[in-house]
């Protein structure tokens, strides 16, 4: 029970970090009314965390390996709290954007340190399921932000959304001080003091799996980003209805993560699970944007896409301990995974939008997802069939 309590606290830290990332979506219309930023600047406000993760995730992984998960996690939560105060008090759009960049660093610090902590504090018998629980932190945090934001916006405008995120980060930092810090200090001195080099993760297997994470995020973010617009433009759905259905689609990703963790705990091998996530998610995504399908069928296809693809994060997190040469390398491996995921988050929507513009309509949407599946087929060809061989191949 103690291990599950630590998993719960670590996951709550991740959910708070994800809330702070996702809070922009609902608040952006109000922010645009106050500051009148360009569409480009508005996009920068929403995507700044992805750029930060894309550039610095491996660096934060190295920090986790060198200074320990507690220091990195506490720094990240404090950054989120301080940046929330700065953003809520911002009188200019430039200052608000600066606060978002600080939040990006805080998010990456928490997102990289907490799975490394879970992987090292949990025994082999619960680690896969615990990682499945952790893998749901982003969709859970984003869903919480979507559900709370309307009430907060009505109560105090967009600044109330920022104040809530800052307060939640501060509370979780205090909770982590009395839970995660003692557990971290109790870890073996040998694993905590190990000092791996950053180049140690740039090997075939970690790079292949990070690329798979990138393909997953490319599909997931492209679908969830454009889904409301697709429904509004193609079937004349109201923006409110499209937003609510899209939130339900995102929630299904939580079920996928939990399913992935459960399957890993049952001993299902790495490559089949990655194949189910990438090919199942890709095929479902193709159906989402098929205009001949009824709206109910599109909603079902979208839910299948996010659910099936959600198997991948939990699977990769659950296998970090087997992929990492030593426990001290866990932070670096997680950082590399997030770097791959962020590449997909940054470039996926841009590629998707570019394809739609080039071909002139939603009918071109499957081109991206078919391309992702072809790339996945190449990557999975080189992934070991049995997860037990990953660490062995990693040492070559």
Q: Which fold has domain 196-396?
A: Growth Hormone; Chain: A; (1.20.1250)
**Residue with the larger pLDDT of the pair 10 and 319:** 10
44 closest CA partner among 34, 56, 32, 33: 32
Q: What percent of the chain has pLDDT over 70?
A: 92
CA distances from 70 to 10, 58, 109, 184, 394 (A): 11, 17, 10, 7, 27
What pLDDT sits at residue 167?
A: 97
Same fold, 1-192 and 196-396: yes
Q: What is the pLDDT of residues 201-226, one digit of tens each?
A: 778 889 999 999 999 999 998 888 78
Q: Cα-Cα-Cα-Cα dihedral of 306, 52, 340, 8, to 10°? A: -60
CA atoms within 13 A on the CB side of 316: 30
Q: Is the pLDDT of residue 14 over 90?
A: yes
Could you tell me if 349 and 71 are in contact, meaning their C-beta atoms sit under 8 angstroms apart?
no
What pLDDT sits at residue 392?
A: 47
Q: Is the pLDDT of residue 82 over 60?
A: yes
What pLDDT sits at residue 389?
A: 44
Mean pLDDT for 116-139 is 87
CA pair distance 60, 313, nearest whole angstrom: 19
Other CB atoms within 10 A of residue 377 CB: 12
What pLDDT sits at residue 195?
A: 61
For the chain, domain boundaries:
1-192, 196-396
Other CB atoms within 10 A of residue 335 CB: 30
Q: Is the pLDDT of residue 1 over 80?
A: no
Q: What is the pLDDT of residues 349-358, one digit of tens each?
A: 888 888 888 8
Mean pLDDT for 29-50 is 78
> In the CATH hierarchy, which top-level class contains the domain 1-192?
mainly alpha
Q: How confident is the model at residue 40 (pLDDT cuts 50, 70, 90)?
A: low
Q: DSSP of 292-346, one letter per residue?
A: TS-HHHHHHHHHHHHHHHTHHHHHHHHTHHHHSSSGGGHHHHHHHHHHHHHHHHH
CA pair distance 46, 69, nearest whole angstrom: 27
Q: How confident is the model at residue 196 (pLDDT cuts 50, 70, 90)?
A: low
Q: Cα-Cα-Cα-Cα dihedral of 301, 307, 312, 314, to 10°? A: 180
Q: Is the pLDDT of residue 367 over 80?
A: yes
CA pair distance 187, 176, nearest whole angstrom: 16
Q: What is the pLDDT of residues 303-354, one digit of tens each?
A: 999 999 999 999 998 888 788 777 777 788 888 898 899 888 888 888 888 8
Q: What is the pTM of this model?
A: 0.84
What pLDDT sits at residue 198?
A: 63
């Amino acid at each position: 029970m103690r291990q599950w309590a630590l998993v719960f606290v670590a996951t709550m830290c991740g959910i708070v970090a994800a809330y702070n990332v996702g809070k922009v979506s609902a608040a952006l219309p109000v922010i645009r009314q106050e500051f009148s930023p360009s569409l480009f600047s508005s996009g920068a406000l929403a995507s700044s965390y992805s750029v930060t993760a894309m550039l610095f995730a491996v660096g934060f992984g190295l920090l986790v390996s060198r200074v320990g998960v507690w220091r990195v996690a506490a720094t990240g939560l404090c950054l989120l709290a301080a940046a929330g105060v700065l953003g809520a008090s911002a009188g200019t759009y430039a200052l608000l954007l600066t606060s978002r960049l600080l939040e990006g660093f805080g998010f990456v610090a928490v997102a990289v340190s907490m799975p490394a902590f879970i992987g090292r504090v949990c025994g082999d018998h619960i680690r896969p399921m615990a990682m499945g629980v952790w893998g749901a932190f982003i969709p859970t945090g984003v869903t919480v932000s979507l559900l709370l934001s309307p009430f907060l916006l009505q109560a105090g405008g967009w600044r109330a959304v920022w104040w809530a995120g800052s307060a939640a980060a501060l509370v979780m930092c205090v909770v982590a001080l009395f839970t995660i810090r003692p557990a971290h200090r109790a870890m073996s001195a040998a694993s905590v003091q190990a000092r791996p080099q950053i180049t140690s993760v740039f090997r075939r297997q970690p790079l292949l799996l990070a690329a798979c994470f990138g393909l997953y995020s490319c599909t997931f973010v492209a679908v969830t980003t454009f889904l409301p617009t697709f429904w509004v433009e193609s079937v004349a759905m109201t923006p409110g209805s499209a937003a609510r259905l899209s939130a339900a689609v995102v929630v299904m990703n939580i079920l996928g993560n939990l399913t992935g963790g459960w399957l890993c705990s049952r001993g299902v091998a790495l490559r089949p699970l990655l194949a189910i996530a990438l090919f199942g998610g890709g095929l479902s995504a193709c159906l989402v944007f098929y205009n001949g399908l009824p709206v109910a069928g599109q909603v079902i296809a979208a839910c299948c896409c996010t659910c099936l693809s959600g198997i991948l994060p939990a699977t990769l997190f659950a296998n970090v301990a087997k992929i990492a040469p030593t426990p001290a390398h866990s932070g670096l491996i997680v950082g590399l995974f997030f770097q791959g995921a962020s590449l997909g988050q940054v470039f996926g929507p841009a590629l998707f939008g570019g394809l739609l513009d080039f071909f002139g309509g939603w009918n071109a949407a499957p081109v991206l997802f078919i391309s992702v599946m072809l790339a996945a087929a190449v990557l999975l060809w080189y992934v070991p069939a049995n997860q037990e061989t990953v660490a062995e191949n990693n040492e070559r």
